[in-house]
Homo-oligomer: A and B are copies of this chain.
Amino acid sequence: MKREEKILSDYLSANNLKFTQQRKVILDAFLSLEHHVSAEELYDKLKKKDYGIGLATVYRTLNIFSSCGLAQQRQFGDGQSRYEHEVDHGHHDHLLCQQCGKITEFENKHIEELQKEVAKEKGYVVFTHKLELHGLCPDCAS
């Protein structure tokens, strides 16, 4: 059994929820897609395979994935939520192209240390952060 499947399965049984066909199918589709998937995109992918899974179920399932740490929900300002895999995919931030919509990930330990300092100065206890750099990707910039 895949690691992600075990995480989901454990979470479900711990909360008296059920490991249904749909949840398994949606998990596989979610993992097979690139990062930053919207509910609609996931639903479209499933529709092609004729599983008869409804959009509402996709939303409900993605919320479960968020709750058990399999996915992280993000909003980049285009009006819809996007979901990212969390397992085997450590924390990172995003570069976003305003023209073509491309999303590039990056990580910078030094920035994160400075964030901690800022939080400390202001007396905050910080659990997570979001950093987005908006501009043009290499292709669109040239």
Contact = CB atoms under 8 A, between A and B. Distances in A.
Interface string A105-142: 01010110011001101111111111111111110010
Copies of this chain present: 2
Interface residues of A, number: 33
Given A111-B111, A111-B115, A127 B134 contact: yes
24 contacts: A75-B77, A95-B126, A97-B124, A104-B122, A104-B124, A106-B118, A108-B114, A111-B111, A119-B133, A122-B138, A123-B141, A124-B133, A124-B135, A124-B136, A124-B137, A124-B141, A125-B136, A125-B141, A126-B133, A127-B135, A128-B134, A129-B131, A130-B130, A130-B132
